[in-house]
Amino acid sequence: MLTPTSVKFDIGDGREVTIETGKMARQADGAVTVRLGNCILLATVVANKEPKEGQSFFPLIVDYQEKFASAGRIPGSFFKREGKLSDSEVLISRLIDRALRPLFPDDYLCDVQVLVSLISSDPEVMPDALACLAASAALAVSDVPIQEIISEVRVARVDGKMVINPNRSQLATADMDFIVAATEKNIMMVEGESKECSEEDLIQAIELAHNAIRIQVKAQEELRDKKGITAKREFTKPYDNPELKAKIAEFATEKIFNIAAAASAKHERSDAFKKVEEELVTFLGEELPEEDQALIGKYFHALEKEVVRNMILDKSIRLDGRSLDQVRPLEMEVDILPSPHGSALFTRGETQSLTTVTLGTPDDELLVETAATSNYSKFILHYNFPPFSTGEVKMMRGPGRREVGHGNLAMRSLKQMMPGNDYAYTVRVVSDILESNGSSSMATVCAGSLALMDAGVPLPKHVSGVAMGLISRASDGKWAVLTDILGDEDHLGDMDFKVTGTRDGICGIQMDIKVDGLSMDVMRQALAQANRGRMHILDAMYETMPAARPEPKPHAPRMEKLIIDREFIGAVIGPGGKVIQEIQRETGTTINIEEVGQTGEVSIFSSQKESLDKALEWVKGIVAVPEVGEVYESTVKSIMPYGAFVEFLPGKQGLLHISEVSWKRLENLDGVLTEGEKVKVKLTGTDPKTGKFKLSRKVLMPKPEGYVERPEREQRDGGDRRGGGFRDRGRGGDRDRDRGGDRGFRGGRDDRGTPPPMEAQEPMFDE
């Protein structure tokens, strides 16, 4: 019997989390399971003992995967097995990766693989909030040399109250939803969305999350101590040459500063730095040992980073000459492409997004599946980052993790302003980055907002975004916040965070912090500066597109939604879909019907307004309740010796008796009515016994002068003489028919939908 080591802690509201090690995956360097309710995650970590030869970066691999068996499901793919990671799994993998990566020493270059698997699913537990806890715990009980223990929690505001790791049903009603990662002392990562929260609301959520994380860090330390992990493994550190480093600094510092302070464009600056590096290689000479030659680039780029950081802190000079809080020049256009349903070109400095919007039907909804859920999304955003946007040559291999992550941030931000479920369109936004030098994801948010309004999507407000940076110096405590950072400033900074929102609050945030001891006061100032940058961009957006177009463009599909009683859904669909297929075929429209509570939602789509109106009237006719006294435009369906069967509403027929066709006495209807003819009739009543409709044409015609009403004759036994019914002639026939006709009959058809045989029909009127 395997005896695991475990610890437990209260998540804060009576729910208990258990972390366990020593039972599963024992050949990994570290392995744990984390359990909350019936949700169980298995996390493993394995690290190579030595770095690969010539390795110059830290190769960390983080994969999160949900096993469908964890929820008792079989994957819906053709192969019936889990394949490549879904977008949802990629996003959770990124949440773990971004939190773990800063924990490793800068000089640790061995391959590390962290795998987290959902092995048991609980429909009410969100596993993404536990995944980083599991990964950190696996590292904590291993000898892999991490510097600190971290954890990650979700904090959401539900009904005005902040909740740590809310269950799935609670999260559905939350107006704030953030994932926060931290060590015991420092915030490491924040990502999430909100319905226009304030900066102070965000600060409070982060502080509350940090308190919860401290409890989880202590639990991991307790598990580590129980496991007996007292030291981390030694590792081979990369070769270092302080003398060479000093020599490079002496040669290149001033040259780097002059280039950095020249306020040149991205490629011009890059070429200038490359030229200095080539001069440095020549200066050092070819006789430099091979191991030292490999250090030249490393030391030069580290010096470049240091010089630029000091220039910004000491001189308040940025690489492109802007002030610290200045946004780059903005250029915006809408309706730039003729065929898409909406389009916008957004340019901010050397970053540019061409974004399009396509309006589709509910058939175009995106199925998003996880182990525990299977939902359809009516709002889709895809982000593409082709290599030419940075002047590079690379193979195109489809969207990577970066594309998925940046697209998700933009999607979550714009989603806050999208109309609700009563908006029947499926909306797809595609952002193609044509140029990139800093925060193309924020360009996607701005271009997406403009393109959506250009498409006539009723966004109540514009959403914009801005990327911020922080540079700090530990030696003297000096720091600076940068608005609208460049790509190079992102690389050399201590914190980069992206904030999106409207004029009234924050809609989305993504923050990565690379420095210890960041105070909340610094974060408050950074958020306040981000607010000013966001407002500046919003002003320009409103000048370009003040509000959404009142309706979609002429070539976009038209949509109407009709709410009907649930009992009419079957009538609109028809047996085997016959009715709805006929409507679509005859009108050229697309119709979707969804049952919602006690009602049905009928969505009708067409590129032609005339077709849309025709289908809408058709459906309205089917669900309409005939009103006595109303006049209807009817169609003659068939003619009998005793009258004509007419359809006065879709699917609703009645007998226009020969005596109700004209004030004159007619022997037959030859030459009076023909099949397919349109004729106006008035609904004069319904038979109280059978519910059949009484129709008249003559009451809509002027009564002849001197006309005298004929007295009604008595009914014969065995039938109701009021219009529209039939009886069975046979003495052994249906007793119900003898008493007034089949009660399920409508418009000349029995309850099976077929007319009674002619020889069994007899008009229940005097002729």
CATH of the domain at 589: 3.30.1370.10
Q: What is the DSSP string of 21-88?
A: ESSS-TTSSEEEEEEETTEEEEEEEEE-SSPPTT--S--EEEEEEE-GGGGT----STTSS--SPPHH
Contacts (Cβ under 8 Å, ≥6 apart) of 451: 334, 342, 343, 344, 355, 356, 357, 429
738 assigned to some structural domain: no
Q: Residue 97 in contact with residue 115, Cβ under 8 Å? A: no
Structural domain ending residue among the three candidates 292, 315, 338: 315
3-state class (DSSP) for residue 442 = helix
pLDDT at 759 over 60: no
Whether 617 and 641 map to the same domain: the answer is no
3-state class (DSSP) for residue 528 = helix
728 assigned to some structural domain: no
707 assigned to some structural domain: no
Whether 48 and 178 map to the same domain: the answer is yes
Whether 618 and 635 map to the same domain: the answer is no
Separation of alpha carbons 115 and 139, rounded Å: 11
Positions of E strands within 475-598:
478-483, 495-502, 505-513, 558-565, 590-596
Structural domain ending residue among the three candidates 258, 288, 315: 315
Whether 420 and 536 map to the same domain: the answer is yes
Whether 39 and 154 map to the same domain: the answer is yes
For 323-357, how does the pLDDT look when each residue is reduced to its tens digit (9 = 90+)? 999 999 999 999 999 999 999 999 999 999 999 99
3-state secondary structure string, 686-744?
ECCCCCCEEEECHHHCCCCCCCCCCCCCCCCCCCCCCCCCECCCCCCCCHHHHCCCCCC
Separation of alpha carbons 465 and 448, rounded Å: 11
Burial of 83 (0-12, 13-18, 19+ CB in 10 A): exposed
What is the mean predicted confidence (pLDDT) over 259-276? 91
pLDDT of residue 738: 39
Q: In what order do the strands lie in the sheet with 161-164?
A: 161-164, 151-158, 176-182, 187-197, 505-513, 495-502, 464-473, 478-483
CATH of the domain at 33: 3.30.230.70
Looking at residue 67, its amino acid is: K
Share of the chain above pLDDT 90, in %: 58
710 assigned to some structural domain: no
Q: What is the DSSP string of 200-253?
A: HHHHHHHHHHHHHHHHHHHHHHHHHHHHT---PPP-PPPP--HHHHHHHHHHHH
* Residue 462: domain span: 330-544
761 assigned to some structural domain: no
Q: Which residue has the higher pLDDT, 765 or 474?
A: 474
Mean pLDDT rounded to a whole number for the chain:
87
Query: What is the number of structural domains in the chain?
Result: 5
pLDDT at 603 over 60: yes
Whether 411 and 262 map to the same domain: the answer is no
Whether 161 and 45 map to the same domain: the answer is yes
Share of the chain above pLDDT 70, in %: 92
pLDDT of residue 194: 96
3-state class (DSSP) for residue 104 = coil
This prediction's pTM: 0.81
pLDDT of residue 761: 42
For 171-200, how does the pLDDT look when each residue is reduced to its tens digit (9 = 90+)? 999 999 999 999 999 899 999 999 999 999
pLDDT at 505 over 50: yes
- Give the confidence band of 713 by pLDDT, cuts at 50, 70, 90: low
Whether 509 and 634 map to the same domain: the answer is no
CATH of the domain at 667: 2.40.50.140
Q: Residue 518 in contact with residue 207, Cβ under 8 Å? A: no
Q: Which residue has the higher pLDDT, 429 or 729?
A: 429
Looking at residue 18, its amino acid is: T
pLDDT of residue 708: 66
Structural domain ending residue among the three candidates 544, 573, 588: 544
- Give the confidence band of 361 by pLDDT, cuts at 50, 70, 90: confident
Whether 168 and 47 map to the same domain: the answer is yes
Query: H-helix or E-strand containing 679?
Result: strand 678-686
CATH of the domain at 281: 1.10.10
Query: Which residue matches tokens 């009604």?
Result: 712
Q: Does the annotation flag 13 for ligand binding? A: no
What is the mean predicted confidence (pLDDT) over 593-611? 88
pLDDT of residue 552: 92
Q: Does the annotation flag 107 for ligand binding? A: no
Separation of alpha carbons 609 and 153, rounded Å: 50
pLDDT at 410 over 50: yes
Q: Which residue has the higher pLDDT, 665 or 460?
A: 460
423 HSE (CA, 13 A, CB side)? 19
Q: How many CB atoms lie within 10 A of CB 37?
A: 15
pLDDT of residue 727: 37
235 assigned to some structural domain: no
Whether 159 and 36 map to the same domain: the answer is yes
528 HSE (CA, 13 A, CB side)? 7
What is the mean predicted confidence (pLDDT) over 58-80? 91
- Give the confidence band of 739 by pLDDT, cuts at 50, 70, 90: very low
Whether 485 and 339 map to the same domain: the answer is yes
589 assigned to some structural domain: yes
What is the mean predicted confidence (pLDDT) over 649-664? 83
Burial of 597 (0-12, 13-18, 19+ CB in 10 A): exposed
726 assigned to some structural domain: no
Whether 392 and 280 map to the same domain: the answer is no
- Give the confidence band of 709 by pLDDT, cuts at 50, 70, 90: low
